Amino acid sequence: MRKIIIVILLMFISIVPVWNATTRSIKSAEDPLEVFGHQELSIKQAIDLAYPSALEWNENAQLLQGVNIDRDKPGKAIGGNGKRKYWNIDFGVPDTNKIFLVTIYEGEIVEAKDVTGEGDSPYPAEEFIKLEDINYDSPQLIKKAIELGDIHPGKDWAKGYNFMIRRDPETKITLILVIGWNADKEKMVAVYFNATNGKHLVTSK
């Protein structure tokens, strides 16, 4: 669990790709009004927005992981509704080292690019997420996480409540993590949920 938290932290503080690149907005094929034009998006909305550009990159692209970016200005209730303004959504081609990053800002794709590294190892098929396995979304799970107790929003760093989706290659479970802090703001707290059935799996402190 500790290794996963470290990876999450690195993602939060990672540099967002330059936003003066050509801005592209892609509507969701299923429900364009629900996704397009909203400043804040849930995990599922961010994935729906990003997926078409990944399929343009490679018709075999699949979802690898998604995480919000800690770029918000300090404020109250950031992520308290299960939505965030800034997202990085990663796609890849199973059993290859091909990787594609989509960065979202306030409901729009601001950058979508191939970030494959020549020396990268292939990503196993077991790490990729099937969309049909995502039956729960971050707005539902933030409520559950708060009800479980001992998770609070961050203030200055890893602000508010943060969210990540990934697949555990060993258990084959698609996970949605709700990430915050303990009451003293001294330790990060990650609440793990099964994205398929919404069950609480573990809380890492």
Mean of all residue pLDDT scores within the chain: 84
Across 21-25, 31-35, 76-80, the highest mean pLDDT is recorded for 76-80
The stretch 22-50 carries a mean pLDDT of 61
pLDDT tens for 50-97 read 999 999 999 999 999 999 998 777 666 789 999 999 999 999 999 999
Q: How confident is the model at residue 36 (pLDDT cuts 50, 70, 90)?
A: very low
pLDDT tens for 101-121 read 999 998 899 999 999 998 889
The count of domains in the chain is 1
Distance of CA 202 to the CA centre of its chain: 18
Looking at residue 173, its pLDDT comes to: 97
> Which residues span the domain enclosing 33?
2-204
pTM here is 0.83
3-state SS of the chain: helix, strand, coil percent to 5? 25, 30, 45
